[in-house]
Amino acid sequence: MQEPHEFRLDIGGIELAGVEWPGEGDPVLLLHATGFHSRCWTQVVQHLPGHQVYAVDLRFHGASDSHGTADWQIMADDIHRLIEKLDLERVVGVGHSIGGHLIARAAARSPGRFKHLVLIDPVIMSNDRYARFHTFSTQLKATDHPVSRRKNAWRDAQEMYERFSGRHPFSTWQPQVLRDYCDYALQPAGDNALRQLACDPINEAGIYLNQKGNEIILAELPLIVTPVTLLRASPSDDAISDLSSSPTWPGLADALPDCQEFYLPELNHFIPMQEPELVAQHIRAAYDRDY
């Protein structure tokens, strides 16, 4: 498999960073979950030899710019502009968590750009759950959310790996995926000997809390005429604070025009981190499907 190369792309007012693995045929576009980055997909891509694959750092994440507010509509616009700028056609769009939400919004807006979607435990919730989030978020500021208090001063990636490897949910990940996350999770070293997270915990908390208006995606589901593969993990009664449980509306598959669901109750929300080869199998199946 060819070595990846990093890129930065000006999409108008902001630059998004990412990684491209050169290859042939229809492109695959990978969008990560909140708090992570494009290199978390490396172990999935290892099982996609020969394919042209793009993995992008969302706004506020990785090496991408962090301008503006943590607004999901703005982030969805980012992905639409990215696809237009790269002029991607017949895209196999793959999104995990918020990435699933954003790629679904892009497919609703520009269905002609997409060949297939693979939505991995996307943050597409029921109306009732959105209402609960609205109530919850109006009572908190980003600085009040537990995520905002993540440790944000690290000696290096090895310290991160050693700290997280024995802690849930990181302990459920494949070790190499955790190493990939830690290796690219920190900002470059500055004058201070300690390094901070590339995704600032305040921004991460703001993304979790800012769900107002995101229920519009439920009205957009009939517009997603692209075939969809949905991977869904086990839900929890405490999906607001239990970040390892599935946030996905159990009725999502039935609400989409063309969707095949795979329910994976033995896994948690971090499906690509637990089973990268399984995720790659579903991407290959979507890629090889004739239309």
In a domain, 247, yes or no: yes
- Please provide the distance, in angstroms rounded to a whole number, between the alpha carbons at the two ends of the chain: 27
Quick check: 26 pLDDT over 70?
Answer: yes
Quick check: 241 pLDDT over 70?
Answer: no
In a domain, 190, yes or no: no
In tens, the pLDDT along 36-45 reads: 999 999 999 9
In a domain, 159, yes or no: no
pLDDT at position 211 is 86
In a domain, 176, yes or no: no
In a domain, 155, yes or no: no
Provide the pLDDT confidence category of residue 193 given band limits of 50, 70 and 90. Answer: confident
Q: How far apart are CA 238 and CA 256, in angstroms?
A: 25
In a domain, 82, yes or no: yes
For position 251, which CATH number holds? 3.40.50.1820
Mean pLDDT of the chain: 93
In a domain, 67, yes or no: yes
In tens, the pLDDT along 122-148 reads: 999 999 989 887 777 677 788 878 888
Domains held by the chain: number: 1
Residue 283, domain extent: 5-140+200-288
Quick check: 11 pLDDT over 90?
Answer: yes
Quick check: 240 pLDDT over 70?
Answer: no
Quick check: 65 pLDDT over 80?
Answer: yes
Provide the pLDDT confidence category of residue 252 given band limits of 50, 70 and 90. Answer: very high
What is the full DSSP assignment across the chain? Answer: -PPPEEEEEE-SSSEEEEEEE--EEEEEEEE--TT--GGGGHHHHTTSTTEEEEEEPPTTSTTS---S---HHHHHHHHHHHHHHHT--SEEEEEETHHHHHHHHHHHH-GGGEEEEEEES-S---HHHHHHHHHHHHT--GGGSGGGGS---BS-HHHHHHHHTTSTTGGGS-HHHHHHHHHTSBPPP-SSSSB-BSS-HHHHHHHHH--TTTTHHHHHGGG--S-EEEEEE-B-TTTTT-TTSB-S-TTHHHHSSSEEEEEETTS-S-HHHH-HHHHHHHHHHHHH---
In a domain, 188, yes or no: no
